[in-house]
Amino acid sequence: MSNRRQALVTGGGRGIGRGIVLALAAEGWHVAINFRSNREAAEEAAAGARDAGGEATLVPGNIADPASRAEVAAATLDACGTLDLLVNNAGMAPRQRMDLLEMGEASYDEVMDVNLKGPLFLTQTLARHMVDRVDSGGSPGQIVNIGSISGFTSSTNRSEYCISKAGMTMMTALLADCLSPWGINVYEIQPGMIETDMTRGVKARYDALIDDGLTPIPRWGQPEDIGKAVAAIAGGALPFSTGEVIRVDGGFHMHRL
């Protein structure tokens, strides 16, 4: 244990999660990097965190599985001693894009378990720790949920994903409300199109849409773009905001004429 500030980033081994890990590490944080199966990627992220001036510990586990989720929480508190920041980043797209009229219940359950139920109950466990810390005279932690523009944008070939991300916005509001007596602020970041493994399969299609002016800022977002936003929040940049949705989407959300 050290004097560093302590964070857990779920799904921190690659993509947006890794961008968040590296941004926090550059500010000196110790980051517990949760990953489900790709240890090599998580080890790379940890090495990058140390190179950036931070510290890192790997915390394997599947946040959709109750027993494994409990192990992630316990291992995090064991490695970190305490928790200043929880970043609920892990998420998945449906394995197969299916029209809403064809979507299967198994896919719905899987996506909802990973994207909504897992983060909610992981947060419940770790928020109790944050509450206890404040009750014992310690400082409040912060929570950042990684939502999506899909929380307000219909894509009928991945409805379960959209529903899970819409649910995350209410989860953010509920947690912000519930935890406000302890000064624990809760934020949601809604990324736009970010270049990661998740979007690899739709890259050519989205390249064309971006070229056609889909976003006022005409480029793909990168994991660092989300990392910078999380690091700003983690550094205390928004002390008078909670339940707040922060869009990091190149302006995608704007209605335009």
DSSP class per residue in 11-66: TTTSHHHHHHHHHHHHTT-EEEEEESS-HHHHHHHHHHHHHTT-EEEEEE--TTSH
Among 108, 161, 187, 206, the one annotated catalytic? 161
Smaller CB separation from ligand NAI, 197 or 207: 197
Termini Cα distance of the chain:
54
> Residue 76, interface with ligand NAI (CB under 6 A)?
no
Compute CA 244 distance to the chain's CA centroid, rounded to the nearest angstrom: 14
CA–CA dist 10, 105 (Å, integer):
25
Establish whether 161 is a catalytic residue.
yes
Query: What is the closest distance, in whole angstroms, from the C-beta atom of residue 67 to ligand NAI in the complex?
Result: 13
Which of 46, 49, 63, 246 touches ligand NAI (CB under 6 A)?
Answer: 63
Return the residues of window 101-120 that contact ligand NAI according to CB under 6 A. 114
Token readout for 111 is: 């996506």
> Residue 194, interface with ligand NAI (CB under 6 A)?
yes
- Total residues belonging to the chain: 257
Smaller CB separation from ligand NAI, 141 or 227: 227
Span near ligand NAI by CB under 6 A; candidates 96-104, 121-129, 169-177, 196-204: 196-204
Smaller CB separation from ligand NAI, 115 or 133: 115
> Residue 91, interface with ligand NAI (CB under 6 A)?
yes
Minimal CA–CA distance to 35: which of 11, 69, 4? Answer: 11
Span near ligand NAI by CB under 6 A; candidates 73-81, 125-133, 136-144, 191-199: 191-199
Minimal CA–CA distance to 126: which of 85, 176, 186, 181? Answer: 85
Binding mask 22-61 for ligand NAI (x = CB under 6 A): ------------xxx-x-----------------------
| φ/ψ (deg, to 5) at 192 | -90, -140
Point out the residues that are catalytic. 161
